Amino acid sequence: MNDTLQTGASAGTDQGAARPLLDIRDVVKRYGATLAVDHVSFALRPGEIVGFVGPNGAGKSTLLKLVSTYLEPDEGEIELAGHDVVKDPVAARAELGYLAEHNALFDGMRVVRYLEFVGRARGLSGGELAARLDWTIGACALQAVTKKRVHECSKGYRQRIGLAAALIHDPRVIALDEPTHGLDPVQMAAFRDFLRSLAPGRAILFSSHIVGEVCDTCERVVAIHKGRLVADLPVAELARRAKRDGRTLDGELLRLLEPAAAATPNEPRSGGAPR
CATH number of the domain at 8-95+171-262, out of 3.40.50.300, 1.10.3720.10, 3.40.50.11290, 3.80.30.20?
Answer: 3.40.50.300
Give the distance from CA 49 to its chain's centroid.
9
pLDDT, residue 71, reads: 95
Per the prediction, the chain carries an average pLDDT of 86
pLDDT, residue 128, reads: 97
Residues of the chain above pLDDT 70, percent:
88
Q: What is the pLDDT of residues 236-258, one digit of tens each?
A: 998 898 889 888 888 887 787 77
> Residue 35 pLDDT > 70, yes or no?
yes
Alpha helices for 122-225 (secondary structure H)? 126-139, 155-167, 185-198, 211-217
CA atoms within 13 A on the CB side of 42: 31
* Range among 13-17, 78-82, 181-185 with highest mean pLDDT value: 78-82
Are 22 and 173 within 8 A, CB to CB? Answer: yes
Q: What is the pLDDT of residues 215-241, one digit of tens each?
A: 888 989 999 999 999 999 999 998 898
According to DSSP, the β-strands at 34-44 and 49-53 are unpaired
Are 138 and 146 within 8 A, CB to CB? Answer: no
Domain map (residue ranges) of the chain: 8-95+171-262, 105-170
For residues 259 and 38, the model is more confident at 38
pLDDT, residue 266, reads: 53
As a whole number, mean pLDDT of residues 105-125 equals: 96
Q: What is the pLDDT of residues 173-212, one digit of tens each?
A: 999 988 887 778 888 888 888 889 999 999 999 998 777 7
As a whole number, mean pLDDT of residues 94-119 equals: 93
For residues 73 and 61, the model is more confident at 73
pLDDT band of residue 101 (cuts 50, 70, 90) is: confident
pLDDT, residue 260, reads: 55
> Residue 261 pLDDT > 70, yes or no?
no
Task: Determine the 3-state secondary structure of 21 from DSSP.
Answer: coil
According to DSSP, the β-strands at 75-80 and 83-84 are antiparallel
pLDDT, residue 259, reads: 61
pLDDT, residue 8, reads: 41
> Residue 9 pLDDT > 70, yes or no?
no
> Residue 57 pLDDT > 60, yes or no?
yes
